[in-house]
Amino acid sequence: MIEFKKVSKVYPNGTVGLNNIDLRIEPGEFVVIVGLSGAGKSTMLRSINRLHEISSGEILVDGQSITAARGRELRVMRRGIGMIFQSFNLVKRSSVLRNVLAGRVGYHSTIRTMLGLFPKRDMDLAFGALGRVNMLEKAYQRADQLSGGQQQRVSIARALAQEAKIILADEPVASLDPLTTRQVMDDLQRINRELGITTVVNLHFIDLAREYATRIIGVRAGEIVFDGTAEQATDEA
């Protein structure tokens, strides 16, 4: 569960990113946030796992305030949240497997991580995750040798290896062609259905949102202007 309680985000230059948002997302939902560029979609996602600090209000994840969390508590909460970006954010010169294992880093001491030593359980999780996105056969390839869609599936695998309960995807298909877009959205949908992972995806295409979302949230100028099912979004269009 993700809950926004009167959340506002004002950037240092005075731009209002979010204006007094109240929102509840239940476990297992597949929510798509739609809105034009600059509407506040990315600000919303980044607020959830505290990639930036909100200016006021509070955000709860699984009933626990991530806004108030500190130190180890915050790290543990973040571990449960996988983040997927438009630009994939993989280590280009590393293998696919290494990139997926990066999802395990938060579970270990720094020294283990620096040495690149991962226990068998991590390897199992990494290979299991690669299997779920049909990328097992690419495990030893360099990330930068993959197509954009394949790279995005690796970043989904990284979130799975992380044992995330929530996946936040910020414009995950914005730099992909239509066919690849579908493959990545299908992967996200299948993972949501099979594993019950709460999924929040930012998109700027309403058609794609209607096709995949169980719930669509429309954002404009930092406010929620629509919140309903895909069918309702169609009726109103």
Q: Which residues bind ligand ADP (CB under 6 A)?
A: 11, 13, 15, 17, 35, 37-43, 95, 97-98, 101, 116-118, 123, 140
Complex with ligand ADP: residue 28 or 128, whichever CB lies closer: 128
7 vs 165, beta carbon nearer ligand ADP: 7
- Say how many CA atoms lie within 13 Å of 181 toward its Cβ: 16
| Shortest spacing between CB 71 and ligand ADP, in angstroms | 25
In angstroms, give the least distance from the CB of 45 to ligand ADP. Answer: 8
What would the two tokens of residue 55 be? 């200016």
Secondary structure element (H or E) that encloses residue 215, with its range: strand 215-220
Q: How far is the CB of 161 from ligand ADP (least distance, A)?
A: 12
Query: In angstroms, what is the minimal distance from the CB of 213 to ligand ADP?
Result: 16
> Residue 11 or 205: which CB sits closer to ligand ADP?
11
Q: Which is nearer to ligand ADP, 17 or 103 (CB)?
A: 17
Asked if 92 and 144 count as a contact pair (C-beta separation under 8 A), the reply is: yes
Query: What span, in angstroms and rounded, lies between the C-alpha atoms of 55 and 57?
Result: 7
Length reported for the chain: 237
Integer CA distances (angstroms), 130 to 18, 89, 140, in order: 35, 17, 11
Question: Taking CB positions, which residue lies at the least distance from ligand ADP?
Answer: 42
